[in-house]
């Protein structure tokens, strides 16, 4: 059953050919699907297809992720003007039970560690 949806957006200085969005869907058994989309928009650069991969988190990664998801989710925000932004949706029985809106997570836990675990699968 679906446990987590996470999205990372490239809010840096990007142009045609750079990655635009990365997303993960993680099930409670550790299976995940990863997608990466790229910015096109230039006649000189052909359309770059979406990258899609599937895999399974290790037992250690899954246990760490579940602990982080059970922890308090901070309402703290941070201001930045460049870099990446993240959004997190925690599910229970196909219903969103926690949602962190898209925004910067620099220095904010548990989001930085969740992002780190997911990024290992990219």
Structure tokens at 25: 């869907």
Structure tokens at 38: 């790229």
Claim: this prediction has a pTM higher than 0.75: yes
Identify the three-state secondary structure at position 19: strand
Write down the H helix ranges in 25-106. Answer: 59-70
For each of the chain's 122 residues, which pLDDT tens digit applies?
Answer: 999 999 999 988 777 778 899 999 999 999 999 999 988 766 676 778 889 999 999 999 999 999 999 999 999 988 877 789 999 999 999 999 999 999 999 999 999 999 999 999 87
Task: Give 2-119's CATH code, choosing from 1.10.287, 3.40.710, 3.30.1560, 1.20.1660.
Answer: 3.30.1560
């Amino acid at each position: 059953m679906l446990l987590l949806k996470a999205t990372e957006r490239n809010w840096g200085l990007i142009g045609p050919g750079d990655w635009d969005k990365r997303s993960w869907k993680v099930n409670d058994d550790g299976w995940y699907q990863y997608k990466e989309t790229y910015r096109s928009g230039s006649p000189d650069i052909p359309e770059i297809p979406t990258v899609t991969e599937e895999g399974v988190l290790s037992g250690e990664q899954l246990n760490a992720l579940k602990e982080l998801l059970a922890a308090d989710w901070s309402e703290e925000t941070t201001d930045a003007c460049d870099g990446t932004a993240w959004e997190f949706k925690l599910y229970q029985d196909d219903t969103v039970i926690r949602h962190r809106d898209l925004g910067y997570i620099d220095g904010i836990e548990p989001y930085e560690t969740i992002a780190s675990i997911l990024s290992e699968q990219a």
